[in-house]
Amino acid sequence: MEGISDISTKETADTVIKISDLEEARSGFCHLGVSERQSAKLIASGIITPTPIQEQAIPALLDGKDVIALAQTGSGKTLAFAVPILEKIDPLNKAFQVLILVPTRELALQISEVFWEVRPESSEVRVVPIYGGSSKDLQKDSMRQGCQILVATPGRLIDFIWEGMIHFEAVKIVILDEADRMFEMGFIDDIKFILSCLQHKVQFGLFSATMPPPIRQIAEQHVPDPFYIRLEKLVSDKPKIAQKCYRVAPHEKFRTLLKILKKEKGATLIFCKTRGEADRLASQLKKSGHQAEAIHGGKEQAYRGYTLRKFRQGDLSILVATDLASRGLDIDDVALIINYDVPLEPEDYIHRLGRTARAGKTGEAITFVTPLERKLIERIEKMLGERLLISNQ
């Protein structure tokens, strides 16, 4: 079996594994109870030091505890449950053992990719994402080949339950990820039905940014004595995210945006309120010579996946999005967030900013504020407990 000491000279595309990294990992993930084999794979993937949520959640889940974790996107929560799942699962048993419920197809694919990236090379664990908007037959074929970990959106999972494709007898771990987002999208009754299909005790993990009453009720019913984790809001970490607000008239927005893009370097994520606005803005930016594409719920899944890959790989410098991309998508190395429109809900401001300053890095967020949007900014300030300075650009 490959141990940590066996990979001291390995290289990945982005990093060379050093002796100092190995020592740090030995006192990091191994100290949390993670096996040397799994730690070695994390190091080979460039993951050296656990984040705060990983430091708390991994030992608790490895110890068999039920976990409720309130943390913003960008905190490293996917690995917080993926690592212990990979340690606890029986790879020789091809039965469905772990269910991860998520609100969107993008998050289902992202979580599946994390599992594929960090599972040890010789692991026989199979991860299958199922979600609406894609071929049922292809997903069924994947499941028939063996599926220990199922990452599913509620609607497609219920379809497969009614068709007799899903059996819960061997399930031992259930994770609800972005639980509050599932509530916001109207999945609360679907979640209750899915959980009612479990006729035996399972280990339960609930990861969410907030805890609305319906989610709290589910937690109290299924997790009566949880290990509770609460991390501070990401936006309160002022050294990581420099927040600026510019006072602009509606007709000045695009000109102001071009001035900012001329000065700023690095991957830029721009948020608009509507799909039409995102499409129009991306088109305007391309006409102005910028590499820009729009992503929102009206785009085909294949296009959205292709565009996200280009943005992650650095082949696309500007992504224009609706709030579809503000929650649950793991987009690293975003240098600049621009709120072209102030979000209608204060919580969405936090989730938008959660796309930058990830994994200890720094970032910048700029918000355009028109006279009619001043009330929206006041609601954000009330939630943050601080004033946001609004200046002329």
pTM: 0.62
Instruction: Indicate the angle between helix axes 154-162 and 188-196, nearest 10 degrees.
Output: 40
Q: Which domains does the chain have, with CATH numbers?
A: 78-230 (3.40.50.300), 234-392 (3.40.50.300)
How many Å apart are CA 228 and CA 185, to the nearest integer? 25
Q: Say if residues 132 and 157 touch (Cβ distance below 8 Å).
A: no
How many Å apart are CA 74 and CA 355, to the nearest integer? 7
pLDDT values of the chain reduced to their tens digit, one per residue, 393 residues: 333 333 233 333 333 334 444 444 444 788 899 998 898 888 877 787 888 889 999 999 999 999 999 876 667 889 999 999 999 998 888 899 999 999 988 889 889 988 988 888 777 899 999 998 888 999 999 999 889 999 999 999 999 999 999 999 999 999 999 888 888 778 889 999 999 999 899 999 999 887 888 888 888 888 888 999 887 554 444 447 888 999 999 999 999 999 999 887 788 999 998 889 999 999 999 999 999 999 887 777 678 878 888 888 888 999 998 876 555 556 667 888 999 999 887 777 877 887 776 656 678 889 999 999 988 998 888 777 778 878 887
**CB-based contacts of 126, cutoff 8 Å, min separation 6:** 94, 145, 146, 147, 148, 149
CB 321 within 8 A of CB 278: yes
Q: Which of 4, 1, 61 is nearest to 28 (CA)?
A: 4
Residues 6+ away with beta carbon under 8 Å from 256: 246, 248, 368, 393
